[in-house]
Structure 1
Amino acid sequence: MSTLAAPSPAPARGRVRSAGLTGTPSLLRLAVRRDRVLVPVSAVALAGFVAMSAEATFTLFPDLASAQESMAPTLANPALVAMYGPISSLGIDSIATFKSILLGGVFLAMLAYVVVRRHTRTEEEAGRLELLGAGVVGRRAALGAAVLLGTGAVVLTVVLTVLWSIAVGLDAAGSVALGVSWLVMGLSWVGVTAVAAQLTSSARGTAGWSLGALAVAFLVRAVGDTAADDSPARFLTWLSPLGWGVKVSPFGANRYWVVVLGLVLYAVLVAVAFALLERRDLGAGVLPSRAGRERSDIRSAAGLTLRLARGMLVGWVVAYVVLGVVLGSIAGSITSFVDSPQVEDMLRAMGGDAGTITDIYFASELHFAAVAAAALAIAVVTRMHTEETTTRAEALLATPVRRTTWAVGHLALAVVASAGVMVVGALVAGLVHGSAEGDVGGIVVRLVGAALSTLPAVWVTLGVAMLLYGLWPRFTGLAWAALITFLLLGEFGDLLDLPAWLVDLSPFAHLPALPGGSVQWLPLAVLALVALALAVLGVGALRRRDLG
């Protein structure tokens, strides 16, 4: 005779809710282990970006009093304000951190996006969350761990930045305000990405929503900051989390209270993300996926690679068009403050000692644009690792497509894309500046040539990414750390009197000072050969290892 066990009493409502977070500490430890290189290296690099820039400025300008008055008109240029935000004051600390406050905050927001997306939508798309969910892991645990790690990455970066800034001589109160500014921007994008991961059913969709929101926030802030003082459009700055970061005004008004806005937005967005999580199925998004075509017009692996990357490429082209407009607009006012020998020394130290002051300005800015183009190239190559971990590469390579063809397709797209955005940016800058100077053709040719001269250094970073993916796919993310290291050594190595052998490790340290200088073909040829060798070694290693 069999008996039936009495049903267990229903758990309390509060216990049901808390059960959704079961396993969060374990998933957090796993996420920390997986990002044990990415997060610390990124935090140190961003903190170093501020501290090293400030230290280099102090070295060049021991006494800035004579330069402040002449720099004021240029620092108020609408194009410059749109790009970097309004300067807080004309003090030495504010000038030393002028470029790094907003741009650093944007980079921190991108770090938060990468961390949160990786441990939510990317893991879910790869099927790993489904396996984990079959164990003792609550439904909300993955999102909770991702939010906690993203928050920790932001806080770690902010703390390091504040301490390092004070250590190099920046004002302590202003350094804390700078940390508040970054905290607002970084935490906001922890929340934005958490929501984006619930709306869509793919990592690419999450990227589109999160990075699209970042672009919109930047644009809204730019419109508000460049509007006339009596214009109602000035209020737009307060509608953007990036605008809130700028409104903290580090080394100026030091509005610490703005952090409340960031914390409230962060809390609201995280709460919305958890609410949306309860309204969707695993592997799906709240928003319906767009139906594809009945028949595809893709005929090759390279065509598939281009189709998958086209949204990202369009965004980068638009960004470089805007960058070209900004650079071309600012160029006309560069000569307005060269009466200060300190400012001229700074520009010559950063852009080379060749040509007019406008040429040196373009050389400096094009080198920074080349670093961004290298980031695009790395993003294209590292997509191969994503395709592999999600098993889509395995399905593709089960067809007659060979690994070499697949890898070369990504490399070719990265080469063309990086060259394309550099040419677009230089072309637009040449058109804008050439129209003002009455020499469109001549200036366009010189700037496009200068942009092309930076490509060998860009392709070296591309080769590093390919080599890492081919040999050690788990460490593909170190390509980003290599790029940041190259940037710091190439742009600030000479200013900080670092050893020559150390500076020479950066491919960007060997670029010619164009458009004002002369072309040295040997260093460019060597860089191109190094890039080719790295790429060939990476493809060869990919052919010989097991996928997955």
Structure 2
Amino acid sequence: MTTVTSAPRTAAARDDSHRPGAFAGTRTLIRFNLRRDRIRIPVWVLALFVGTVSTIGSFTASYGTPEDVEKLVRSMDSPAALAMTGPRHYLDDYNIGAMLGHQMLGFTAVMVGIMSVLFVTRYTRAEEETGRAELVRSTVVGRHAHLAAALAVTGIANAAHALLLFAGLAGNSAEGIDVPGSLLYAVAHFAIGMFFAAVAAVTVQFTAHSRGASGMAMAVVGAAYGLRAAGDVGNGVLSWLSPIGWVQRTYVYVDNNWLPVLLTLAVAAALAYAGFRLSLRRDVGAGLRPDKRGAGTGSRALTSPLGFAVRLHRGLFIGFGIATFVLGVMYGSIIADAEDMVGDVKEIQEALEELGGATVAESFASIVMIVIAIVSAVYVVMAALRARAEETAGRAEPLLATGLSRTRWLGSHIVVAAAGGTATLLLAGLGFGIAGAGSTGDGGMVLKLTGAALAFAPALWVTVGVAVLLFGWLPRATAAAWLVPVYAFVVGYLGQILQFPDWTNNLSPFGHVPQLPAEDMSWTPLLLLTLVAGLLIWAGLVGFNRRDLETK
């Protein structure tokens, strides 16, 4: 009888010290992410910094006398104004520093939060969705390396922004701006950025798709802003349920309270730890939330390029449709208070008079329409660039290997982007009009504001055309399409208050849209914008048909 005995385990086999740790390779991934986004990160940081510094100059020029400041305090001390800015305590000593904390901290907290969410999802879930994370982790890279590197790079971006803020504000001689307050203002931005980065570190564990992960984290950003607004107007307890409410209650340049910042950083650390722990409960590329079982048979609509594109864009459109409708309702509910809010502010009054509006409410609505249109422009850029995502992920190649032409495939995404953007304008206009009619008692507001929103549709189509043109001829530069909505916001919204030269607004397609309901309708610029959009889309289709497809 023979027996087989296993070979004795050697010391090397028993020793696990040679295996990579959970954070192995983190520093390499940090350097790689910084090299990869050497342009994206500085653009975000500098844009946020310049926005803050330019606002100080505007405050100084606009409110140079005690009488001007007193009028501003009266206009800000209303429920509508507090909902859009911050807690009333800032108004007790409303110098330039207090204005900065009151009017800008909540807004820039949202922007810093969006930046942080996008960075974390880009470096984690997007890498898993494309399969690159699995390839990288087949080498000497630990399980936690991707998430740790994502949080580290996001922290570097937020720290760079904070350092710029401190340096720029501490050396400013405006009334009320001092070194201790500037340090707190900078650290508050770092803290809120890392809080939302930690939120994204949790959401990326639940879904297998980067859009879903970023969508959930963005919903937290929106909810934080909504709770803050509700708490500042009514029950202050609600503001303490929002991290944006926490950093605003530092009362920077007024009380300089550091405790809310410490609370924000502590909760951010706890959320980041939860993200690491949750990542141990799932496989690479999978999410904690199981995918829903699909139908046994597909819809006939999925057999057509347009029907398939509608299915791909459905979730994005629903999210933006709800968001724009709610945004319209929010602004419509305060339109009756517009005259009380801005009627005594000389600079805003001058901007409204230039619009030629019959009433302050109509002029105020025409300014708000720019914000609504730019939110819709964000949707059309994301929708138009979905074709690029399908190409880089390798999902376009098998479709185009069939009898489906490139023009029909790309055209389906163009149609969905243009029609979806127009639909978001319609929803926003309806929400704005319905709430505005209820606020003012003027039933004609519904049709008037809905039409004013739809007037921006040709400008949205031009935005789609720019994205398609870049995709067709310069696919690696498609991110430049984001310059259209960003530039439109800077010169179209802020430019009216900061009095930018007229030629800067003319460079934006949104600058050629009649500012209804304050102005009379003019069809010529809308027809020209539609023609330009058609030419851009045609040129983009020509370029796409002539270039090579990126394959996997």
For normalisation by structure 1, the TM-score amounts to: 0.89
Corresponding position of 1:364 = 367
Structure 1 residue 305: deviation in Å? Answer: 2.3
- In structure 1, the residue matched to 2:240 is 238
Aligned to 1:355: 358
CA distance 1:166–1:393, change in 2 (3 Å): farther
Decide whether the 8 Å contact of 1:61 with 1:342 is kept in 2.
no
Residue in structure 2 matched with residue 155 of structure 1 by the alignment: 159
Paired amino acid for 2:310: L
Give how far 1:117 is off.
Answer: 0.7
Kept in 2: contact 1:41–1:481 (CA 8 A) = no
Inter-CA distance 337–486: structure 2 relative to 1 (3 Å threshold): closer
Given that 1:55 and 1:168 are in contact with CA atoms closer than 8 Å, whether structure 2 keeps it comes out as: no
Aligned partners of 1:490 and 1:507 also within 8 Å: no
Cα shift at 1:500: 5.1
> In the TM superposition, what are the counterparts of 1:496-511 in structure 2 within 5 Å?
501-511=503-513
* Structure 1 residues 436 and 219, CA gap change in structure 2 (3 angstroms): closer
Answer yes or no: is 1:395 the counterpart of 2:398.
Answer: yes
1:42 is matched with which residue?
Answer: 44
Partner SS state of residue 518, structure 1: coil
SS across alignment from 1:85:
coil
Aligned identity (percent) is 32
Q: Residues of 1 paired with 2:252 and 2:154: CA distance?
A: 24
Q: What's the RMSD between the two structures over aligned residues?
A: 2.8
Aligned residues: 536
Partner deviation per Cα, 1:407-430 (whole Å, 9 max, x = no partner): 222222222222222222222222
User: Which deviations, in whole Å up to 9, do the C-alpha atoms of 1:317-350 show, x marking residues without a partner?
Assistant: 222222222212222122225663515435428x
Matching residue within 382, 385, 389 for 1:382: 385
**Cα contact 1:347–1:361 (8 A) shared by 2:** no
1:159-195 CA-partner distances (Å, limit 9, x unpaired): 3344445566551344433323322321111111111
Check 1:534–1:253 CA distance in 2 against 1; reply closer, same or farther (3 A cut): farther
Distance 1:239 1:339 in 2: 33
Distance 1:456 1:488 in 2: 20
Alpha-carbon separation, structure 1, partners of 2:467 and 2:168: 29
1:207 CA drift (Å): 2.5
Deviation at 1:9, TM superposition (A): 6.4
Aligned-partner Cα distance in 1 for 2:150–2:279 = 13
* 8 Å CA contact 1:344, 1:357 repeated in 2: no
Amino acid at match of 1:392: R
Match of 2:110 among 106, 111, 129: 106
1:525–1:178 distance in 2 versus 1, CA, 3 Å = farther
> Residue 366 of structure 1 aligns to a residue in which SS?
helix
Q: How far 1:96 sits from its partner (Å)?
A: 5.4
User: Are residues 467 and 177 of structure 1, via their aligned partners in 2, closer, same or farther at CA, if it must alter by over 3 Å?
Assistant: farther
User: Structure 1's 7 and 47: CA in aligned 2 closer, same or farther, altered over 3 A?
Assistant: same
Letter in 2 for 1:402: S
Task: Identify the residue that residue 472 of structure 1 maps to in structure 2.
Answer: 474
**1:285 maps to what in 2?**
287
Distance 1:236 1:337, change over 3 A: closer
For the residue of structure 2 that corresponds to 1:292, the secondary structure is coil
Answer yes or no: is 1:319 the counterpart of 2:323.
yes
8 Å contact kept, 1:48–1:161: no
Map 1:92-491 onto structure 2 (within 5 A).
92-95=96-99, 98-165=102-169, 170=174, 171-172=177-178, 173-228=180-235, 234-297=236-299, 298-336=302-340, 340=344, 342-345=346-349, 347-348=351-352, 352-440=355-443, 442-491=444-493
**Distance change >3 Å, CA 80–CA 404, structure 1 → 2:** farther
Counterpart secondary structure, 2:544: helix
CA contact (8 A) 1:125 1:202 kept: yes
The answer to whether the aligner puts 1:535 opposite 2:541 as a matched pair is no
Please say if residues 328 and 432 of structure 1, whose CA atoms lie closer than 8 Å, have aligned partners that are also in contact: yes
- Deviation digits for residues 473-514 of structure 1 (CA, Å, limit 9, x no counterpart): 222222224432332233344665656544432233333232
- Change in CA separation of 1:53 and 1:355 when aligned onto 2, cut-off 3 Å: farther
Distance 1:30 1:471, change over 3 A: farther
The CA distance in 1 between the partners of 2:487 and 2:168, in whole Å, is: 17
Distance (Å, rounded) in 1 between the aligned partners of 2:275 and 2:113: 17
Aligned partners of 2:370 and 2:489 also within 8 Å: no
- Match of 1:160, SS? helix
Give the partner amino acid of 1:198.
Q
Write the mapping of 1:508-527 to structure 2, written as runs, cut at 5 A.
508-527=510-529
CA contact (8 A) 1:74 1:333 kept: no
Q: Does 1:22 align with 2:24?
A: yes
The C-alpha deviation readout for 1:61-113, integer Å capped at 9, x for no partner, is 332x3244444454343344334433522334444565432222112111111
Does the aligned pair in 1 maintain the 2:335–2:440 contact within 8 Å?
no
Q: 1:282 to 1:321 in 2, by over 3 A?
A: same
Which amino acid counterpart does residue 452 of structure 1 have in structure 2? L
Contact 1:374 1:459 in 2 (8 A): no
1:128 is displaced (CA, Å) by: 1.0
1:75 paired with 2:76, answer yes
Q: Tell me the secondary structure at the aligned position of residue 57 of structure 2.
A: helix
Change (3 A) 1:96 1:151: closer
For 1:382 and 1:333, locate their aligned partners in 2 and report how far apart those are by CA, in whole Å: 39
Change (3 A) 1:334 1:96: farther
Q: Is the 8 A contact 1:66 1:340 kept in 2?
A: no
In structure 2, how many angstroms separate the alpha carbons of the residues matched to 1:499 and 1:436?
Answer: 34
Shift of 1:120: 0.8
3-state SS, counterpart of residue 22 of structure 1: coil
Does the CA contact (< 8 Å) of 2:321 and 2:427 recur in 1?
yes
The CA distance in 1 between the partners of 2:341 and 2:137, in whole Å, is: 62
AA at the equivalent of 1:332: A
Q: Read off the aligned partner of 2:344 and give its amino acid letter.
A: S
- Unaligned runs of at least 5 residues, structure 1: 229-233
1:357 shift after superposition: 1.6
Single out whichever of 167-176 and 216-225 deviates more from structure 2. Answer: 167-176
Of residues 157-166 and 324-333 in structure 1, the stretch that sits farther from structure 2 once superposed is 157-166
Contact 1:491 1:509 in 2 (8 A): no
Give the residue type in structure 2 aligned to 1:157.
H
Q: Which moved more, 1:332-341 or 1:98-107?
A: 332-341
Equivalent residues of 1:184, 1:261 under 8 A apart: no
Kept in 1, the 8 Å contact 2:351–2:496? The answer is no
Contact 1:354 1:517 in 2 (8 A): yes
Counterpart contact for 1:46–1:161, Cα < 8 Å: no
Paired residue for 1:58, among 54, 57, 60?
60
1:50–1:165 Cα contact (<8 Å) kept: no
Residue 208 of structure 1 deviates from its aligned partner by 3.4
Distance in 1 (CA, whole Å) between partners of 2:379 and 2:124 is 23
Change (3 A) 1:80 1:403: farther
